[in-house]
Amino acid sequence: MELTPEEQRKRSQRNYAIAGVLLALVVLIFVVTIAKIGGNIASRPM
């Protein structure tokens, strides 16, 4: 199936949107992890 230029453009937009959402999810889980661990990292016994 040949994609028309318009279909190609929309597919590319969707791909970028999905990439953005996945990236945001990674950042969210990272930040929540840090927040949950909180000060315990700094105060752990060395």
Partner 1 sequence: MTVVATNDDTPRASLAGPADYIALLKPRVMSLVVFTALATIIVAPGSMNPVFAFTALLCIAIGAGAAGALNQWYDADIDAIMTRTRTRPVPSGRVTRQEALEFGGVLAFGSVLCMGVLVGYLAAALLALTIGFYLFVYTMWLKRLTVQNIVIGGAAGALPPVIAWAAATGSVAAPLPWLLFLIIFLWTPPHFWALALAGSEDYARANVPMLPVVKGARATRNHILVYSLIVAPVALAPYALGLTGPIYGAVAALGAAAFVVLAAMLWRASAQAERGAALRLFAYSIFYLFAIFTALAVERLLGFAPGA
User: What is the binding site for partner 1 (CB under 8 A)?
Assistant: 1, 3-4, 6-7, 10-11, 13-14, 16-17, 28-29, 31-32, 35
Give me the least distance between CB of 6 and partner 1, in Å please.
7
Which CB, 4 or 40, lies closer to partner 1?
4
Residue 35 to residue 46: CA distance in whole angstroms: 21
Which CB, 6 or 46, lies closer to partner 1?
6
Residue 26 to residue 20: CA distance in whole angstroms: 10
- Is 11 in contact with 3 (CB distance < 8 Å)? yes
